[in-house]
Amino acid sequence: MQDGTSWAQRYITRRTRIGGNPDQFASPAPRLAHLREHVPDTAVQPRQVQVFGTKKSADTRKALRFFAERRILTHFVDFQERGPALGELRRFSERFGVQSLVDRESKRFLDLGLQRSMHSDDWWLKRLTEEPLMLKQPLVRFGHRFTVGVDEGVWREWVST
């Protein structure tokens, strides 16, 4: 590799000078380029929705059923098995605010006696990662779009685009 060319490039060049067919050594990418023009973008990157919640939540099941009926690929994160990551909760809180993520009527919230508590947003985010059953459910993410709770009107917009 004296001049920066690979052995394969030198071999192809040598074969074409001898009289060989250069197309037999070419990569398949240029020959298949015309096929990529006819493939829709949705086939290249399937639409996927992330749904965060618990299996026993009726609203979470409703969200999963909504996307399943429309054959949208869903990735379900069950809070019973794995709590939400702090970064994921920050994405939702930047859009809606931390207080809109807290379900003040949830059983876990009432059991912990946090009805009259006044804490910072960082405290709430940390607490919500430790106690995900205090979150409003479902949390749904579609690319850079988010919803908290059931919002079928917004979900229909996502599916139609």
Rounded to an integer, the average pLDDT of 114-136 is 86
Assign 4 a pLDDT band (cuts: 50, 70, 90).
low
Rounded to an integer, the average pLDDT of 142-154 is 93
Whole-prediction pTM: 0.67
Contact 64, 76 (CB under 8 A): yes
Contact 54, 137 (CB under 8 A): yes
Q: What is the pLDDT of residues 56-81, one digit of tens each?
A: 999 999 999 999 999 999 999 999 99
Assign 53 a pLDDT band (cuts: 50, 70, 90).
very high
Amino acid at residue number 53: G
Assign 121 a pLDDT band (cuts: 50, 70, 90).
confident
Instruction: For the chain, count helices (H), then strands (E).
Output: 8, 4
Distance CA 16, CA 40 (A): 36
21 or 91, which is more confident: 91
List the domains of the chain with CATH numbers.
Answer: 7-37 (no CATH), 47-160 (3.40.30.10)
Distance CA 54, CA 68 (A): 17
Reply yes or no on whether the pLDDT at 44 is more than 50: no
Q: Are strands 139-142 and 73-78 parallel, antiparallel or unpaired?
A: unpaired
